[in-house]
Amino acid sequence: MRFRGGYNILLKGRPDSAIEVMPEPKILCLPLRSRRFTFSEICVKDGQSVSGGDVLANDPNNYAVPLLAPRAGTVRLKAVEDHIVLEDTAQLEEHADIVGEELSHIEQEMGAAGIKRYKLLVLGAWQFFCDAHTGALPDPLGTPQAIIVSTVSLEPFVARGDVQLHKRLLNFTRGLEQLQSLLEYQPIYLVMPDIKSEFANLIRNHIRGRAWVKVVEIPLMYPYDDFAILARGLGLKPNEVPVWAVRTEGVLAVDRALTLTKPCTVRIISIGGIGVNSPTHIKVVPGYPIEKIKDKYVFEPAARMINGGILTGEILGTKTLGIDTECRGITILPELKDREFLRFIRPGWDRNCYAECFLGSLRAKFRERLTTGICGEARPCISCNFCEEVCPANITPHLIHKYLYRGLIEEAEQARVDLCVECGLCSFVCPSKIDLRKQINDAKMLIAEEKEEIRRERFRQEEARKQAVKENSG
Ligand code: SF4
Ligand code: SF4
């Protein structure tokens, strides 16, 4: 497969491969919102006792994916805004909240494959899937043109695939077999690093003999693990037939749901960045109090907490009290409140820069200490072309920026903003500190909204025309 662009950002604070199990909490605060989901249909009452695995709420706009209770406890609905709180939690045996009647109904309608898909949905494994091209949750009853499974996570500092797989290779291969049982003849592409490491060799040995798995080896360069980039590289076109995409943790969740019929309520997430005393991976459940994680790992009094990686994560506001169901890692950066004294005259021995304009470029490769200080003001574009060089989507961010600056939305559309995979590299390398990723993303949304409005208007006109024909003929 051929790639273009890409850039590896070397930063201090990379999580090691250990997994620490966090102490059991007495209280869980489950956010009702995550990046893709809004759990607006509440299925429990205030004060109700629930068991681990019970459905607390679901997202009616996303095939009713459930928010599961990770532990037994008592529900509090109004204690914290936009959260379901579980008090007096206890770690008892989780059970699958599956209604027998529904199973027999599904079996009659859709057979054994239907039951498997239903289990994936209600046991929380389906939430790990996305459409490779759009990132949205695919229809669990749909049929994909292919599945892309990635064991690679290249963005600093989200949870690493090799850590997720630690001692669970057997579960992973069983999960792959379960995935294959959902398909007819469509291929499964297994994405692996193109290096000779113990981890890569172990996977190769485990999947030997499974001809339906096609191995795709990629260089360890960000963001070559992006599903849209991979799908385009594999020639899987965006059309009505989706391309399912799932990472290591999703395949393990498939195994848990279909082999053991158990709810998928545990997450292994990373905690990285230079604001952390020992960057590592932690085993938690959704709703785990962020304050407890902060107390244990964050030593910086003023720290910015980011939900996700350094390039695509979102700032964790003070209103979010627990880990959400889609969290893959938390990044902590020291928050600089004041400008560093005379920073602009320092030669930059401690700084990496894409433009290689600091003294640090003379050093052998090193990991930089990244803070929230952007060292300078936003400036106009200087046409250095760096954003275009690193862009893996083969578009011209600086040109799109200029179109958007002048309000030329149609021109921006023709420059293919739709191909942007939102990796954030253009914003990162831009010496003028222009937030290109946000600008392009906003333009994408605006264009999508306009198209949807045009589609609705056409539909309204067509309906009115049909009605008029009906009335005339009557
Ligand atoms: S334009 Fe989009 S795909 Fe290209 S570098 Fe920027 S964020 Fe990434
Ligand atoms: S990296 Fe920034 S300054 Fe350079 S061409 Fe792109 S937008 Fe302009």
Q: Which atom of ligand 1 is nearest to the CA of 421?
A: 3
Read off the amino acid at residue 433: K
Residue 249 in this model has a pLDDT that exceeds 90: yes
Residue 369 in this model has a pLDDT that exceeds 80: no
| CA gap 426, 304 in Å, rounded | 22
Give the residue from 19, 464, 34 showing the smallest Cα distance to 279: 19
Predicted model pTM? 0.91
| CA gap 219, 207 in Å, rounded | 20
Give the residue from 198, 205, 182, 312 showing the smallest Cα distance to 254: 182
Nearest residue (CA) to ligand 2, atom 4:
384
Please say whether the beta carbons of 198 and 162 come within 8 A.
no
Q: For 201-221, what is the mean pLDDT?
A: 87
Residue 474 in this model has a pLDDT that exceeds 80: no
Q: Is 367 exposed, middle or buried (0-12, 13-18, 19+ CB in 10 A)?
A: middle
Least confident of 85-94, 107-116, 250-259: 107-116
Q: What is the DSSP letter of 167?
A: T
With helix as H, strand as E and coil as C, how does 7-52 read?
CCCCECCCCCCCEEECCCCCCEEEECECCCCECCEECCCCCCEECC
Nearest residue (CA) to ligand 1, atom 5:
391
Q: For 143-152, what is the mean pLDDT?
A: 95
Ligand 1, pocket-test mutation among 227, 390, 436, 441, most atoms within 8 A of CB: 436
Nearest residue (CA) to ligand 1, atom 6:
426
**358 or 93, which is more confident?**
93
Ligand 2 center to 389 CA (angstroms) = 10
- pLDDT tens digits for range 325-349: 999 999 999 887 766 666 666 666 6
